[in-house]
Amino acid sequence: MAEITIEEVTRFGDEIAETIERLLPALSESAVYDRELVRRIVESEATHLYAARLDGRMAGVASLVVYPIPTGIRAHVEDVVVDGSARGRGLSRRLLAHLIEEANERFHARTIDLTSRPSREAANHLYVTSGFVKRDTNVYRWQPGA
């Protein structure tokens, strides 16, 4: 039986930098790896980066962004990704459950949001079976130069 552990990444170093670099293509075809950005994420007060380890090896990551707004503390889950060789072992589910627990118990968030492309069927199934409900809303994005 494989050992799965979840931890918040609180110190920047080669292990997390190399893990993000390795997993980034699974998150986005257009994103460009930036080691300095990874350092800024780890040091951020608003973004909390969590790593899933499988038998001691960092095999997945996810971000929990926590921010205060006039209606309360809100949280947003971003960039949940697990190494292809570690999929099917429950890492994503354990990672997501840990983020939900942190948002609720540590940060007292009123809500936790996330988005996912409809084509990511396994991810969408995970979110629904983890208690997330599809909202009746529109998501808008502004991009410079678009």
Instruction: Give all domains of the chain, ordered by start, each with its CATH number.
Output: 4-129 (3.40.630.30)
Contact 47, 99 (CB under 8 A): no
What is the pLDDT at residue 60? 97
Contacts of 11 (CB under 8 A, 6+ apart): 42
pLDDT at 88 over 90: no
> What residue has token string 């040091």?
43
Percent of residues, the chain, with pLDDT higher than 70: 100
What is the pLDDT at residue 101? 98
